[in-house]
Structure 1
Amino acid sequence: MERRIRTRVAVIGGGPAGLCAARHILSRPEAFDPPVVYEMTDHLGGTWFYEERVGTYDDGYPIHSSMYRDLRTNLPKEIMMFPDFPFDDRLPSFLHHTSVQQYLEKYCEKHDIARHIKFNTVVEKVKPVSMETETGGAVTWEIISRSTRGDQNTQTFDSVFVCNGHYSDPHLPYIPGIEHFKGKVLHSHSYRCPEPFANKSVVVLGAKASGVDISIELAQVNAQVILSHNTPPMSLPPLGIRQARAVVGVSEDGSLQFQDGSVTQADILLFCTGYNFNFPFLCPSELGLDVQDLFVTPLYKYLLPPGFPSVFFIGICKTICPFIHFDCQVKFALAVLEGSVKLPSPEEMKKEVQREMQRKQDTGVQLKHFLNLDKDQWDYYLDLARMGRFTPPQPVFESLYEEVRRQRQKDPQKYRQINYRLIDATQWELLEAPPEQTD
């Protein structure tokens, strides 16, 4: 009997999504060759690797990580984990970023991933190459990469997993008259710690996770903070943080104008306005994709371009339990490559994407929020698991996710003091005392 040819997969990025892809590919040696993981830095961990510097690396590439010094997770470790690799029980539920980095290093070690990572290697170009075969045209992928020493390399693969993350290219919405602002303008991507902002007046734009967290950090060093956002007023700790509507412009004298007509002067304007999608190694139109700052379409199941079902964009959705999300997406993608998922025709996949977009538009979701899954993530995982024939995430994850959301809304400063424990597939409990802290 002739040996079945194994599928060669390239993985772009050595952060959590890339490590997850590598781990599952390595677990199926009968179907897949060991992956080649391309990582532009000299370390794994992606955005979880804390880098004190901001701006660019010595080789001129932009600093990837957006991690700040005191960041702690806003999801407990019980639902942060990869389902098959729990965190150390002795750690508190809400972790300092260094614990997550250590966890990823242990995950990498357990599954012997590091030797498959090409560190200090930038992917310059990914292009589909058509191969005429007896069974019709199949697409392979040519990857041109360059090491930081300058050596160029070209390799060919059957499939590509795009895992380069989306927390490294700051999104800066345009504000009319911004050139008149006399203070300092920066994005949370370049924020590391609050001390340089002590006793300064800071307007923080955006009240998602980082906007609220950073505002609280700044207020604790006596910065005068105005948190400017479009959402209803939030319950914030009594730290003197003012809330204001969106900034709509800057006057010629440098003062900021808010939507309600009020005006203020500020030393610093800090954008906590999210990140752009950026795939510098791809030509999106070649794949039939429209890539905008905050949106990518059409991707069937938020994963693959209908015309090219062997390239997978892992983890581009937002407001999710990230590691669980990557795990489900990777398992589904591998089921597609193995042939156990029969995909609809490209036309039918496109139509399904359009129907999903229409459904979101009809419920008033703005285009820039189309990739926010939040409560929809659980049905999405069930759908992927049903099609890919793998076990879906346990119901306890959804239940704990909703509980943490309630606690976060109630007290955005203190919710991280609570500790949880999973009892079984459907139940969790509160722990009375925080578990022992470990180094």
Structure 2
Amino acid sequence: MTRKLFGTDGVRGRANSYPLVVPTVVSLASAVGQYFNRDKQRHRVVIGKDTRRSCYMLENALAAGFTAAGMDVFALGPIPTPAVGRLTHSMQADLGVMISASHNPHYDNGIKFFGPDGYKLDDAAEAEIEALMQQAIPPVDALKIGRVDRLNDAGGRYVEYAKTTVADRGRLTGLKVVLDCANGAAYRVAPTVLWELGAEVIPMGINPNGYNINAGCGSTQPDLAAIAVLENKADIGICLDGDADRIVIIDETGAVVDGDQLMALLAEKWAAAQKLRHNTLVATVMSNLGLERHMTDRGIKLQRTPVGDRYVVEVMRKNGYNLGGEQSGHIVMTDYATTGDGLVAALQVLSLLQESGRPASELTRVFETVPQILENVSFLEGIAPLENPIVVEAIREGEARLGTKGRLLVRKSGTEPLIRVMGECEDSALLQSVVADIAQSISQLR
């Protein structure tokens, strides 16, 4: 079965436009309820959200669909995506839902689903749910309609768990940390965790108004946080995204450190401590070639997956690996979480910083990157750029020009109308020329 509604990370779109309109979301929730509600016992679902204004609308629509399907709903309020995965499992819920468009602007939104084990649904489950939406789903009898409750201590549960991922309560004492919460889901829990672990916290992005999530802040726009690190002479900066499942680090010089460097750091430390299962790190095809070379030089295997943290997790679960992630900052540590967890990843890095006594600029510069360019090219709805002969030929020529000196990856975004053109090569001039030619061939399709 194929999927049309679901993308690489749940259902995404512009809020109050298809598919994120109330009737469709109610129908979606009813279908999901039907998928999970297959016996006579009562079933429960937990729903978390970030701070977008549209989350209220989508939360109520989901609750209506679930209760009509006979499921009891527990509303968690604003909370990070990884917390939803954890609470789904710990509360013995049949289903978890996160309402968020992650790093996207406030006018976008999305719906992510977690199974009872706390992991995101796989492609097969999503396809079956879409098939159910095409059928007439009978509502349950009036006596079996579900109820909605608000779980007021959801954030506190996550705070206490996050603190257990580092050894001692005062482990971060003496560290001065700039923390940018992107006016998103972690605006309360993240500063609390760092402060209770002893860090001096300089918080940013903790005043959400429904419209300022990811606006000039967070992991995709870390410039203000970098300035704050320098102005406050902080040891390190941490930038989360809107749902706090990804992280970008800023060292004490104001330089940005991406997910590839963080994965390399953790992989080396875990391998030395014999904690890295099967001596393997999992990363996507977007991760820098320098990461792969560095891991190989140290006897650590790098296994690549398609883009999307869900695919990283699928490979990790299938093979028993416990560390993986994406260059964008999703760091997946299955010893601690079922999906990328920006806050828990930050705690791992902060603990290593405290232990090493080295500045962040030294600790987090693990390998030399191969020059990489990523060009995002927009396209009009109804056009299939990667099937166009002109674009296909431009890609073929680019691959031939790079040869064995570099790497080229051209793909359609799973969440936005963009073609992502990524190239790597030590010859920067050649790399720029190849990427520019492919981008131009796409942009001409108007």
**What range describes the TM-score normalised by the shorter chain of this pair?**
under 0.3
Q: Which is bigger in relative contact order (C-alpha 8 A, separation at least 6)? A: 1
Normalised TM-score (structure 1): 0.24
Normalised TM-score (structure 2): 0.24
